[in-house]
Amino acid sequence: MVAVRWSSLAPALLALGAVACVNVDPQTGETIPRGNQKFEYSKVTENAKKLEQGMSKLSVLLLLGSAAEQSDSGDTWIYLPERPAVLVPASALKLEFGPNGLADWGYHPIILGVRM
């Protein structure tokens, strides 16, 4: 039988538990979106089907709610799933705005917590 030193294993287990956690509202039990994101990611991805090139930022904001992250210029918006995608790969929705409104959008993989 191999002896396990809990003192050396505990930090790894705590770190793994911390990255796999999801914020939950203690009163309702609902998942809390990440960052500044208004809606759960499932609602964002469902409404993203209605995106159209040239939409204004206000129109996108009304459709998808606020993004989890924005660039300093405000021209790149990123919507994130509630889970940080460390153990299970996921995707993030990235929107790019230009001078004529919404220019490009698409899903980008998140693997081991890193956006590709």
Residue count of the chain, please give it: 116
**Does residue 101 surpass a pLDDT of 90?**
yes
Instruction: Report which of residues 38 and 4 the model is more confident about.
Output: 38
Residue 64 is assigned to a structural domain of this protein: yes
Give the pLDDT confidence score for residue 20 in this predicted structure: 46
Nearest Cα neighbor of 68 from 98, 39, 110, 34 is 34
Q: CA–CA separation, 16 vs 107, rounded Å?
A: 26
Give the pLDDT confidence score for residue 109 in this predicted structure: 87
Residue 12 is assigned to a structural domain of this protein: yes
Residue 78 is assigned to a structural domain of this protein: yes
pLDDT class of 84 with cuts at 50, 70, 90: low
Residue 42 is assigned to a structural domain of this protein: yes
- How far the first Cα of the chain sits from its last, in Å, is 42
Residue 70 is assigned to a structural domain of this protein: yes
Share of the chain above pLDDT 90, in %: 47
Four-residue CA torsion sign, 41, 43, 35, 67: positive
Tell me the per-residue pLDDT of 12-58, one tens digit each, with 9 for 90 and over: 444 444 444 556 667 776 666 767 888 988 999 999 999 999 999 99
Residue 89 is assigned to a structural domain of this protein: yes
Residue 1 is assigned to a structural domain of this protein: no
Q: H or E element: which one contains 95? A: strand 90-98
- Which pTM does this prediction carry? 0.71
Q: Coil, strand, or helix at residue 13?
A: helix
Q: What is the mean pLDDT of residues 68-86?
A: 86
- Per the structure, the count of domains in the chain is 1
Q: H or E element: which one contains 98? A: strand 90-98
**Does residue 95 surpass a pLDDT of 80?**
yes
Give the pLDDT confidence score for residue 27 in this predicted structure: 79
The two tokens of residue 93 are: 């929705």
Q: H or E element: which one contains 69? A: strand 69-70
| Enclosing domain of residue 74 | 6-115
